[in-house]
Chain A
């Protein structure tokens, strides 16, 4: 018998399309029972164009090579005490937010793609989703490994999976993914594959990875690079799913349009956390949230939707509001976390004079007009030894679960309130987008696990709020939470670098 080496093309065919077989003794609809209920019509799966053009053996090889380089750098980072070389200990709070808020989403993505990788009738789509699923699992692992080094030297990293499932602000990213994963397989693909991984991904990863690069965090930069080629593949899958759905049947267009409207709005709400990270948590700034929104959303999305117009797809419905909000959301989100830092597993602080001036320069139309006086007031209270903490619990949006800190764009100091009454019960929202999402599928969102309401119902321990924070959330009180100034993180950092405590500096400045 002669052993013949397969050509790349043959190998690719055998390892992807050839995995399909004829369903001879079971009904197709019984095997792929989630394919029809969302109202999507697929007439011919063979029209699916495989986005990855990658076989499993090649995949293992590439990933193993990347992994080898990545872990060599992690080792070097640890051996050289890389934690001491970041710009300043405040920066590490961005990484805490990433580990508790974003890394668990990689795990959710792994689950989600593994699930839909079983549900599609087309083998090309199944294989692509399974590969992305493996990527996502690798991402969550490498992120945990990259950040585990910081866990040895800084507070707030220790219980990130537990916190992701319970802590009030982490319910925002968690419920976003729960929403996508409990949807049908096509909606999941439009939600995560297209809206998140294609349209919004640069707004998530570029800020964190460039932020890491600008702030001396080599470990995070390196996993960013290591994930980059995967992300590029994920983007091609996201675009393929949209084009495939739109080309399969004209009835798919309005369904896909509604999903795009929904998920780009849900996505921009989640990215509020990134907005505040960029503008407030990076000691060395990359660019403002507003600038990155202009580059990665406004310019990129308008080109994309121009391209999709030939299918009858329009700009997402709430894009206009999102564009106006770029001037405000980072300041509003930082206000929320500053108010409730005693209930958070990372530190917040008020910007210093130089940072305030940077914000004024980057937000000439809004920062001085609406936000500077508030922050200066808070800074004065802190200098007087009365750092402001909000003593109550905030009202949350039923859909995005973010405290209702967003305002009317034609009246930016007035909180935006929206309300629906469904079967005799009131539901409250932060925006038209969140209200419309609820109104379309109320039976889904009546089930929202709203952290504040759960505390009131007695489901998060108690009776005191300290019990909830310490026992139920597992925040080390007085260590993980509260202002950066006066924190053990700050004290350790100052000891490493023989620095004067920031509190003393603040007093001298006043």
Chain B
């Protein structure tokens, strides 16, 4: 029983299925231990978006106001995709490297511990 309902075999409408996003998919981005950004951020992007666009446009658009942003060594960044360690390929489409609808991309920047080292 996937819900307690008066109607037998009740199913709910999937409000966030991908078809509803006009050709886009939702991707979430979070910078670990940098809680000046109060929560991970959400983007609607086309599934064939190259990862380089995430690096060059989405991430700076969301996170460049952090005082440590310019010091990020992008070669040393550790990535997680939906909780698993992940090695992104810049010139490959998101969907072709497993970044599908409502996926979470997290990055960790070793040595950068947020404002005054407090994880902010």
Contact = CB atoms under 8 A, between A and B. Distances in A.
A446 B22 contact: no
Contacts of A442: 2-3, 12
Interface stretch (A230-238, A452-460, A475-483, A485-493): A452-460
Interface in A242-269: none
A391 B16 contact: no
Interface residues of B, number: 51
The 9 A-B pairs at the shortest CB distance, nearest first, are namely A413-B119, A374-B120, A373-B116, A392-B41, A443-B3, A403-B39, A456-B44, A447-B12, A426-B102
Interface stretch (B23-31, B48-56, B89-97): B23-31
Nearest to A459: B20
A443 B40 contact: no
A71 interface: no
Interface in B7-25: 10-17, 20-22, 24
B83 A456 contact: no
A316 interface: no
A373 B36 CA distance: 10
A419 B80 CA distance: 13
B28 A428 contact: yes
Interface string B38-78: 11111110000000000000000110010100000000000
Nearest to A338: B38
A332 B22 contact: no
Interface of A: 33-34, 37-39, 183-184, 187, 332, 335-336, 338-340, 369-374, 377-378, 388, 390-396, 403-405, 407, 412-415, 417, 419, 425-428, 441-450, 452-453, 456-458
A377 B35 CA distance: 12
B6 A371 contact: no
Given A392-B62, A417-B104, A425 B14 contact: yes
A446 B10 contact: no
A427 to B, nearest CB: 7
9 contacts: A33-B6, A183-B4, A373-B117, A388-B36, A394-B38, A426-B82, A427-B102, A447-B15, A456-B44
Contact of A339 (B11, B37, B82, B101): B37
Contacts of B104: 395, 417, 419, 428
B4 A405 contact: no
Q: Which of B4, B39, B62, B114 has the most CB of A within 10 A?
A: B39
**Secondary structure class of chain A's binding surface, majority of residues:** mixed
Nearest to A454: B15
A358 B36 CA distance: 21
B38 A426 contact: no
A413 B33 contact: yes
Nearest to A413: B119
A184 B103 CA distance: 33
B16 A453 contact: yes
B85 interface: no
Contacts of A335: 35, 38
A456 B32 contact: no
Nearest to A403: B39
Contacts of B114: 374, 413
Contacts of B15: 446-450, 453
Contacts of A369: 118
Given A426-B100, A450-B16, A415 B32 contact: yes
Contacts of A184: 4, 6
A34 B102 CA distance: 36
A452 B42 contact: yes
B37 A390 contact: yes
Contacts of B10: 443
Given A425-B14, A456-B24, 7 more contacts: A373-B120, A394-B41, A395-B42, A446-B12, A446-B16, A453-B42, A456-B26
Contacts of A39: 4
A371 B40 contact: no
A340 to B, nearest CB: 8
Given A373-B115, A373-B120, A374-B35, A392 B22 contact: no
A415 B82 contact: no
A456 B21 contact: yes
A473 B120 CA distance: 30
Contacts of B28: 395, 428
A446 B21 contact: no
Nearest to A331: B35
Q: Which of B4, B5, B38, B82 has the most CB of A within 10 A?
A: B38
A338 B120 CA distance: 14
A405 B38 contact: yes
Contacts of A371: 118, 120
Given A37-B6, A183-B4, A425-B17, A413 B39 contact: no
Contacts of B61: 391-392
B4 A187 contact: yes
A298 B16 CA distance: 37
Nearest to A422: B2
Nearest to B40: A395
A458 to B, nearest CB: 6
Contacts of B40: 394-395, 404, 415, 417
Contacts of A415: 30, 32, 35, 39-40, 106
Q: Which of B83, B101, B120 has the most CB of A within 10 A?
A: B120
A441 B3 CA distance: 4
A338 B35 CA distance: 12
Contacts of B100: 426
Contact of B83 (A332, A417, A450): A417
B100 to A, nearest CB: 7
Contact of B118 (A373, A404, A441): A373
